[in-house]
């Protein structure tokens, strides 16, 4: 078998056979299939799609490319959560210690930023000393002592996906539903969690721009999880506006700590609690009260212990960018639009994300929001603050925020404006 014949099959809208899928995943993992060949196949999949049976086989092949973890020796039920990626989506940071404070174990394997969306590991690496790379034994030790761990997937866990994940980011193939579903579910199934809650983002700042595509992705992933014995539920959530008031790395960590301290933006708190309740129910702990764990400080305690267990200093000052630029409101009225994609691209261009898989990110770079849709703004008042260490990036970032990225309506129209609900649907 050879890579060119596999590429041609999908290029010509054919169905990849089981043997073709098994071979190409194994050969790519071993380096026999080159990056440029897998890029061509990924683009063909993006353009021509995959049938349900192809996605299932592709996922199984990626699982079988490495090891599978086993958490059966833990004294707690396990629950995990995965987001398909958004702007300002720092939910994992407060969520993992919150669910642990309520009695479940959270083995949260997270990733780096993809395109305009932020990466949980990039955010947490802004905490001085914190380590994303843990051995399986270290991961189990943190789960036993704290109840929650956020770390990178080890090299032995779905190594085929690790290679493909980075490649998709720089070849314009991130949005392919079959590749998103198989990427997420291969890692989560191989991880060995007993239950999984999916946060499938919908809107301009998400990879799924419309509700129909999001439902298709969610249903595909729920089916894959259920078929492999993992209790799986998906929430479809709005990503037309950034979550919270920050998009970046250290900026989002700071906001997450505010949530754990009992404050923070209302939308971040709402989604954190909704996902926590789903995780606890799926783990067999439906009577646990995550709101109480936020209020009584136990979630914050678990956060501090989790950070320290991974080498971080929870008391150390977070990095800040050397340069700032303020974007002011162009008119007075009600803010009706603050486009998530535009804000994400601006944060990416400021240095919070990467253009190539080997690029570093700036810990302090990003965008700070001073208003959300539904708020009243005054002409000339601060609307956004841009943060970066490299001020030559400001003009490029500002280009992303022009056009219809920001909408302001007069009093009559603004009074009738209603923001989109945060939680759009639930699929089980």
* 296 labelled catalytic: no
Judge whether 131 counts as a catalytic residue. Answer: no
Closest CA to 231 of 79, 364, 126: 79
| Burial classification of residue 357, based on how many CB atoms lie within 10 Å of its CB (0-12 exposed, 13-18 middle, 19 or more buried) | middle
Is 372 one of the annotated active-site residues of the chain?
Answer: no
Active site residue 183: yes
DSSP state of 415: H
Query: Token digits for 101?
Result: 């404070």
List the catalytic residue out of 90, 168, 302, 354. 168
Q: What is the C-alpha to C-alpha distance for residues 354 and 367, in angstroms, rounded to an integer?
A: 15
CA triple 230-240-163, angle to 5 deg = 50
> Rounded distance, CA 32 to CA 26, Å?
9
Strands (E) located in 55-167 = 80-83, 106-110, 148-152
Which pair of structure tokens corresponds to residue 368? 């700070």
| Catalytic residue chosen out of the listed positions 39, 182, 183, 186 | 183
Which residue among 82, 163, 354, 393 is the active-site one? Answer: 82
Per annotation, catalytic residue among 57, 187, 231, 277 = 187
Q: Which residues contact 163 (CB under 8 A, 6 or more apart)?
A: 28, 29, 38
Q: What is the DSSP string of 258-273?
A: HHHTT-S-HHHHHHHH
In the chain, count of helices (H) and strands (E)?
A: 17, 13
**82 included as an active-site residue:** yes
Rounded to 5 degrees, what are φ and ψ at 371? Answer: -155, 155
Given 22, 161, 169, 238, the catalytic residue: 161
Distance CA 170, CA 180 (A): 15
Beta-carbon contacts of residue 225 (< 8 Å; ≥ 6 apart): 185, 188, 189, 196, 231, 232
The residues assigned a catalytic role are 82, 161, 168, 183, 187
């Amino acid at each position: 078998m050879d890579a060119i014949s596999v590429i041609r099959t999908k290029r010509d809208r054919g169905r990849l056979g089981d043997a073709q899928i098994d071979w190409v995943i194994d050969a790519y993992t071993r380096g026999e299939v080159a990056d440029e060949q897998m890029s061509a196949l990924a683009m063909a999949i993006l353009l021509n799609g995959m049938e349900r049976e192809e996605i299932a086989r592709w996922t199984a092949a990626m699982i079988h490319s490495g090891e599978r973890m086993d958490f059966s020796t833990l004294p707690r039920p396990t629950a995990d959560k995965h987001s398909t990626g958004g702007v300002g989506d720092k939910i994992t940071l407060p969520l993992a210690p919150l669910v642990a404070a309520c009695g479940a174990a959270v083995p949260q394997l997270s990733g780096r930023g993809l395109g305009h969306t932020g990466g949980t590991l990039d955010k947490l690496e802004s905490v001085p000393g914190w380590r994303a790379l843990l051995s399986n034994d270290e991961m189990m030790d943190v789960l036993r002592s704290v109840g929650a761990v956020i770390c990178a997937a080890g090299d032995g866990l779905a190594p085929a996906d690790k290679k493909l994940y980075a490649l998709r980011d720089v070849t314009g193939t991130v949005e392919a539903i079959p590749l998103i579903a198989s990427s997420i579910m291969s890692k989560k199934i191989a991880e060995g969690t007993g239950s999984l809650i999916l946060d499938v983002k919908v809107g301009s700042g998400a990879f799924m721009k419309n509700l129909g595509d999001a439902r298709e992705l969610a249903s595909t992933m729920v089916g894959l999880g259920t078929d492999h014995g993992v209790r799986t539920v998906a929430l479809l959530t709005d990503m037309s506006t950034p979550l919270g008031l920050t998009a970046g790395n250290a900026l989002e960590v700071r906001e997450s700590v505010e949530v754990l301290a009992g404050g923070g933006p209302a939308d971040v708190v709402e989604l954190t609690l909704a996902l926590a309740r789903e995780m606890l129910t799926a783990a067999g702990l439906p009577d646990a009260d995550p709101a109480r764990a936020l209020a009584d400080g136990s979630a914050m305690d678990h956060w501090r212990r989790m950070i320290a267990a991974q080498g971080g200093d929870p008391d150390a000052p977070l990095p800040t960018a050397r340069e700032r630029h303020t974007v002011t409101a162009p008119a007075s009225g009600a803010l009706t639009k603050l486009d998530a994609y535009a804000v994400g691209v601006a944060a990416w261009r400021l240095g919070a994300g990467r253009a190539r898989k080997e690029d570093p990110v700036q810990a302090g770079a990003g965008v700070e929001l001073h208003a959300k849709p539904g708020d009243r703004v005054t002409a000339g008042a601060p609307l956004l603050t841009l943060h970066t260490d490299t001020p030559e990036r400001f003009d490029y970032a500002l280009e992303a925020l022009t056009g219809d990225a920001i909408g302001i309506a007069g009093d009559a129209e603004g009074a009738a404006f209603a923001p989109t609900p945060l939680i759009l649907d639930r699929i089980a």
